[in-house]
Structure 1
Amino acid sequence: MSIAAAQRNWSKIRGLNPGQPVVHYGIVLSQPQIHDSLATISSMAEWANQFSTLNFSINEPDGAPTNRFRHVQDLGRVMRRASGRLMIAQSAGNFNMNACNVAFGYDTSAGTNDGILVVGCTDKYDYRYPVTANPESYYFTEKQSNYGPCIEVWAPGQSMTTTVGNGSVVTATGTSFAAPVVAALAGRYGDATTRPIEREAYIKEAADWTGHYDGSSFNLPIYRAKYSPPYWHNIPKRLPVTGVYSISSTTNLNKLVDEKFYDGIDWNAGGGWGSIVIDLGSAKNLTGVRVMIRSSANGGTLNFAVHGGNTINVTAPGVATIPNNPIAYQGSNDQFDLVPYYIPISGNYRYVMLEASNAASWLSYSEVEVYGR
């Protein structure tokens, strides 16, 4: 399933991948509508038991006093929520300015393994597109593609043939045409079980340098999204889990790995500190842990410690620990309800123990994923 969000083009919606279903979800450009629509779309994907891609051709207008797509703002947080199910390709905007001011980002940079890609727009020569006139009755004439460190990949979007609401065919330009190219390419990788950060990793690894730079004060290289056979790449995969244990609480342990992020039936440590152990069945080469937290806090400190091991001490049904062997620590001061966190790890281990201390809320997770090769 490939899901698209757009304000216009209410008819003749077309996808780029032959035979792949496309769901069109039109919205009104207000903060409550965007927020509720993103939450609804991700919940729809979960109800359909699909992991998929989302084209999100929306960003802040030029001159907006606040970037609501910033990672700690309302719309940035709901994008992070949706990234549990959907790899999101967001348009960078067309104001010839730093995309970090109008699109998703972590203040001054993009993230890694967050399932969200901000997409810049190139012309057919792989340069950042110049000022290009659009048919004024349907689209604004755009200044130029935005630029900067929050853009992770680029795609063609100049002089694109498209349909409009009355069925007419026009030629138009903008990052709104580049983002769905990336969403479609991501949709070609994997299947309905492929996680958003797996698709994100594929897009980044398959992208190649055009030999050009964005021409801004940052002068960053332009990496073009492209398709390449999946077997060319050694993308980390979500690893299957054979067992889950905890010394904190055994209630709803199975919910940590049931692929349900939003159903409201979660594991809760019963306090601000907790520990879980995940059994992968055999030793694996690990690359990361992604956890979707539940929280009553609006910000606040959350600290993780990850341990790896190949022996386990089971003391009761569902209760176990492994020897302390820290392989990663990570702290965050931006915790919110239903926001995922990715913790890079390494090593060859069968068991992964995730400890966390929450100074601002009870500790609870709706889903935990372990990645490796």
Structure 2
Amino acid sequence: MKPVRLTTLRLEKSADIMRLREVGMAIATKLGFATFERTRTVTAMIEMGRNAIEHGQRGRATFTLAEVQGRTAVQFTVLDQGRGIPEDVLERKRGTGQGLGLGLRGAERISYSFDIESGSEGTRIEAVFRPSSMLPLTDSLVSEVTEVISTLDDADPTAALTEQNRELLEALAERDLLMQELHHRVGNNLTLIGALIRMTASQSDSAETKQALTELETRVSSLAKAHELMQQAAKEGTVPAGKLLEDVAQNTERAFNTSGRQVRITVNCPPLELDGRVAVDIGLIVGELITNAYKHAFKGRSNGDITVTLSEPDDGGLYLTVADDGVGLAADAERPERSNSLGWRLIRTLVFQHDGTLTVENENGMTVRIHLAPAE
């Protein structure tokens, strides 16, 4: 019959050692360990568990039933997340049996077999304890031992609830770790995409292609910066608006300013904290409006000014203004808020998602005013 795993216990504090002792004693008793060998076996298990807590910070202990030379034995495995046992200590153990501490040396002498694997990621110790009784490993025996362990849980519901809570906290911690890694990779990928777009634009001979790629780079950079700031402010759940707008402005200046044309972007923003989703959308809107100004406002000119202002009025919501001192709209030009271009469609969609309004003024350049409704 194949080995059967019975249960796994966490090893983090002294109360876990008491739980390990109870489970170990119940299993050993059910398998017919004599009184003296049962005491020695459980003592060895306790030493292995304490070693994981003291030297490995935390660990897990697993009880498994296995058949050894026709009789049922307990395979006891302890894993920890410590720095590992020094190699010179393991070498002495392999050569003379004197390399380990007193507790583990004693556990090794008591066990039927004893094996250690250790490295920088932690240590795994497996010991097999075989009773003098000749019980074969059968399904019925496995059921009986499992029932004994279940009875321990029923006798101490507080311990069972504590274990369940600890499992939940560990699952949450693992989820948070995975989410952090996911966000880190998303940020890196956005940065890489922006760099690839910029490199492709620099190698293009077509002015039209170069301009399209530069606009795309600005959009990706706005997303990347908003994502970065959201991760920095993950604990608070908000993003500093001023920092976001300054970074979007700097990225756009770097993308569009040349030796023949220098446009200055000024950001006016009081200390404001934005919700993550709102921050991403405002970053995209501002990036698109600045890009439009670079494309159309300063034709035939070598310099210009763009002003970005974000405020929070008393009635709630947000007011965003992006103004330039460019040439303005021609009399017969299509109204930008009705334009079918990709950039203006994106702006209108984002404003609509926040129940906002958008107006365009064409005097001393062009001014776009956006009011986003308060979040519900």
Q: Shorter-chain TM-score: which interval?
A: under 0.3
Larger Rg: 2
Higher share in strand: 1
Higher helix share: 2
TM-score normalised over the length of structure 1 = 0.19
Bigger RCO of structures 1 and 2 (CA < 8 A, at least 6 apart): 1
